[in-house]
Amino acid sequence: MNSRVDGLMKSLCCCLAIVGGISSVAAAADVEQWGVWETALEGPRDGNPYLTVECSAVIEQGEQRFTVPGFYDGEGAYRIRFSPPTQGSWRFETRSNRPELSGRQGTFEVGPPTPGNHGPVRPYKTFYLRYADGAAYHQFGTTCYAWIHQTRELQEQTLKTLATSPFNKIRFCVFPKSYAYNQNEPELFPFQKKAGGEFDFDRPDPAYWRHLEGRILDLERLGIEADLILWHPYDRWGFADMNDAQDDRYLRYAIARLSAYRNVWWSLANEFDFMTDRPKGHRGNKQMGDWDRFFQILAKEDPHGRMRGIHNGRVWYDHTKGWVTHASVQSSNMEGGVEYRRQFQKPVIYDECRYEGNVAQGWGNLDAKTMTQRFWLGTLGGCYVGHGETYKHPEDILWWSKGGVLHGESPRRIGWLKDLMAEAPPFDELEPLGNDQGRYLLAKNGEYYLLYCVDTRPQTVELGGSRPYKVDLVDPWEMTVLPLGTAQSGESVVRPVGPDVAYRFTPYGDGEPRRPEVKISASATEGIAPLTVRFDAKTDAAPVWQFGDGSRSTETAPTHVYREPGIYRVTLRVADAGGAEAADMIQIAVDRNTTEPIVRAGFVRGEKPELSLKGTAKRGEGGSIVFSETEPWGWGEASDDALEPLCGLRSFTITGWLKPASLKTGSGGNRVVFCLMKDRSGIDLVCHSDGRMRLSVNEWPDRVQNDSSAGTLVVGRWTRFAVTYDAGKASDNVSWYFSEPQELPGGASLVLDCRTTYDAGPVDNRVGPLAIGNFNRTMHSYGLDRQFRGEVRELEIVGSRISGRGALPVEELNRR
């Protein structure tokens, strides 16, 4: 990363100057290979030259022949720019519908590229990317939609941040953006204004375009690709509603001015489909045929053939079309990478897989660990991944929109992954051997295997060849590599020490000494604090223990007491007489008392936290919460903000008594417990009109298949229920229990109704406020008719973040 800063300083000292058609790059040449050659012509300035004057040049070298469009730069100046793909002598001749611009001829010399100039990025071997000179390019992108539309000071700060970041591509908009956290008015716009103040879409503003070119060059000096978003639906100035002719002229102007810069990529749109169906707050008049036409113009008229993609909202463009160079996708389905590659037969870039941040919107509240995980999953799926950051700021300076400073914890870890992949065989030689069912394995058979484990389920790796392999434990969050020992070729079984770790297998070299054997033995790996664990080192070498809580030991069989709940990774390191090192690691899960409720609601006393009843909700007998059958509606509010103990639960149980007064339901079911952050991140327990219940975790429940049997709830009768969830189990991880319906609550035993398999992972760390009987405030704008209609009594939630103990067995439930 320091080399990027050094490169920036050198570039600032010998800045690329385009003067009178000669680029001052090398003394013996007019321009370097893949640099920008330019010729400037003086021509007519009367009327509107943007509409009436055509200008281009035919540029040739041997059998290479390019028709390069020119553009009007104001004040009678016309320019033609070209990025030569090869060294040597080139000749040009201008063409125009105006005689004073036509027939100009000349030659120019192209020299070798300067250090750091690898040429443009191109698709390679179907699924990959690389520079034109053959150098490796592994895309690690980020998004700053409107950074060039901010103050000059903030733009400079963004460049400084990028200079020390791991990112080598940035997505940003040509047009300014009007959206949440970005309502300021830019200094410059792509088009001039008329006397009345409205924009003249037939007159580009050269001052804006020169500014954009300067920023593209700034990024080039940093080694960063400029992924230009040409249209988007977040508009209040009218740019999204230009007519066809204006759209086409704008696109051709951008091609003529910008395509010569070797780091330019074309992204036709951000969320292109929102410019067609125009959901609330979106603008645009584009149909699918328009996007096809824009792609065709780019493919035919961009003489440099820059990268071409388009970004989706809900509807995906057909990336198999020939004019698309790569699939730019917005998706959180990291499992789908292998399938997307098969489907599109092109490089796949997760340009948006949600953002690290803390805004209320679901697309912008990933924690840093999840953002880091998504880079790993996408990479091991043979795809490329993009970053974004949306942490709230008192002046609304969020990186995802305005740039500035990065505040999150994922960029450093993304950079570590980038360095780790640079040590591996070239990315284009690695094949994803996983699947779309949650297996992530990237390998070069017989030479390199990298396995990512999202959970602790054992996995197998088939190690090719006949040589033994060194095994390393890679911790993506801690950014460490631990040498574990040796695996023989053939089938190797991996038992992950915990979730979100990776295992790397590389063969021993000829004559390389084997690592010593080492194995940890522990009397217990989980329990309630305080937990006493007796360890033993199964090794002949001198042991060094680290117990994960700051304590260490050099005993062979130490005893250690864990006094606080938490997950502790115990490491044993050894070294033999020859200096060869190896290690082993296990995880110790120390839990809180999981029988102690996190939530108690609908009790006469001892509610936890204290419940505030809103709307028409009221208290009934025995502390029950009574909800109306018809509007006006009500709800119970347990917290203004997220209830922290509900965040990150690996397992939980929800139990209580329900008495429906009506099973008439709003769309998607009526809420019993709701702590989603809008439509994701949290828990949603609903009942349906046929008396069944449904549990969803971290997602909207409408399409979830995780239900109890129908008829378990009966109108006018009390039924005791419990649902348990354990994200650590591979199957049958949800259990539904019910009592027989009865006239009064109390004295009823729970009986198993059914078990289901629901792989939603642990509860996210950014849940919404807890509400009982209806939506929480993050969803009130969608209406309140999804209210439970009846009474709720003695509802409890227990859970564990570190083990399956939060999924209480029925025997424990019946003792409560």
The pLDDT score that the predictor gives to residue 2 is 46
What is the rounded average pLDDT of the residues 600-627? 95
Q: Which tens digits make up the pLDDT trace of 727-751?
A: 989 899 999 999 999 999 999 999 9
Q: Are strands 348-352 and 327-330 parallel, antiparallel or unpaired?
A: parallel
- Confidence class of residue 541 from pLDDT cuts 50, 70 and 90? confident
Q: Which of 197-206, 428-437, 592-601 holds the top average pLDDT?
A: 197-206
> What does the alpha-carbon distance between residue 752 and residue 722 come to, in Å, rounded to a whole number?
9
**Whether the predicted pLDDT of 6 surpasses 60:** no
H or E segment and range at residue 485: strand 480-487
The pLDDT score that the predictor gives to residue 7 is 44
The pLDDT score that the predictor gives to residue 277 is 77
Partnered with residue 705 across adjacent β-strands are none
Compute the mean pLDDT over every residue in the chain, rounded to the nearest whole number. 93
The pLDDT score that the predictor gives to residue 712 is 97
Domain spanning 599-815, CATH architecture: Sandwich (2.60)
8 A C-beta contact, residue 95 and residue 78:
no
Q: Which tens digits make up the pLDDT trace of 689-741?
A: 999 999 999 999 988 999 999 999 999 999 999 999 999 898 999 999 999 99
Percent of the chain with pLDDT over 70: 97
Q: What angle do CA 650, 791, 662 make, to 5 degrees?
A: 105
Q: Which long-range contacts (CB under 8 A, 24 or more apart) does 295-302 make?
A: 295/268, 295/321, 295/323, 295/324, 296/323, 297/248, 297/251, 297/252, 297/255, 298/251, 298/255, 298/266, 298/268, 298/323, 299/323, 301/69, 301/252, 301/255, 302/255, 302/259, 302/266
CATH superfamily of 1-117: Immunoglobulins (2.60.40.10)
The pLDDT score that the predictor gives to residue 16 is 35
The pLDDT score that the predictor gives to residue 668 is 77
> What does the alpha-carbon distance between residue 651 and residue 805 come to, in Å, rounded to a whole number?
7
> 């995880």: which residue's tokens?
587
**Whether the predicted pLDDT of 160 surpasses 80:** yes
Partnered with residue 55 across adjacent β-strands are 96
> What does the alpha-carbon distance between residue 448 and residue 465 come to, in Å, rounded to a whole number?
11
User: Any idea where the domains of the chain sit in the sequence?
Assistant: 1-117, 138-426, 445-507, 520-591, 599-815
What is the rounded average pLDDT of the residues 152-164? 98
**DSSP symbols for 397-452:** --HHHH------SHHHHHHHHHHHHHHSSPGGG-EE---TTS-EEEEETTTEEEEE
Q: Radius of gyration over alpha carbons of the chain, in Å?
A: 31
H or E segment and range at residue 221: helix 206-221
Partnered with residue 485 across adjacent β-strands are 471
The pLDDT score that the predictor gives to residue 8 is 40
The pLDDT score that the predictor gives to residue 640 is 80
pTM score, whole prediction: 0.83
The pLDDT score that the predictor gives to residue 27 is 47
- Confidence class of residue 121 from pLDDT cuts 50, 70 and 90? very high
8 A C-beta contact, residue 610 and residue 746:
no
- Confidence class of residue 17 from pLDDT cuts 50, 70 and 90? very low
DSSP E strand boundaries for 55-173: 55-61, 64-72, 77-82, 88-96, 105-111, 121-124, 128-131, 140-143, 169-173
Percent of the chain with pLDDT over 90: 85
| C-alpha count within 13 angstroms, C-beta hemisphere, residue 145 | 28
**Whether the predicted pLDDT of 22 surpasses 50:** no
Same topology, domains 1-117 and 520-591? Answer is yes
**Whether the predicted pLDDT of 115 surpasses 70:** yes
**Whether the predicted pLDDT of 117 surpasses 50:** yes
**Whether the predicted pLDDT of 525 surpasses 60:** yes
8 A C-beta contact, residue 286 and residue 275:
yes
> 């049958």: which residue's tokens?
732
CA distances from 220 to 118, 121, 305, 535, 677 (A): 11, 12, 18, 55, 39
The pLDDT score that the predictor gives to residue 765 is 76
The pLDDT score that the predictor gives to residue 15 is 35
**Among the residues of 144-205, which ranges form H helices?**
152-163
**Whether the predicted pLDDT of 20 surpasses 50:** no
Report the candidate in 249, 262, 192, 202 with the shortest Cα–Cα distance to residue 37: 262
What is the rounded average pLDDT of the residues 420-434? 97
- Confidence class of residue 23 from pLDDT cuts 50, 70 and 90? very low
> What does the alpha-carbon distance between residue 637 and residue 640 come to, in Å, rounded to a whole number?
8
8 A C-beta contact, residue 635 and residue 618:
no
Q: Which tens digits make up the pLDDT trace of 196-237?
A: 999 999 999 999 999 999 999 999 999 999 999 999 999 999
Q: Which tens digits make up the pLDDT trace of 494-512?
A: 999 988 999 999 999 999 9
Q: Which CATH fold would you assign to the domain 138-426?
A: TIM Barrel (3.20.20)
Task: Determine which of 51-55, 152-156, 571-575, 592-596 has the lowest per-residue pLDDT on average.
Answer: 592-596
Phi, psi angle pair for 541, to nearest 5°: -90, 165
In CATH, what number does 520-591 get?
A: 2.60.40.10
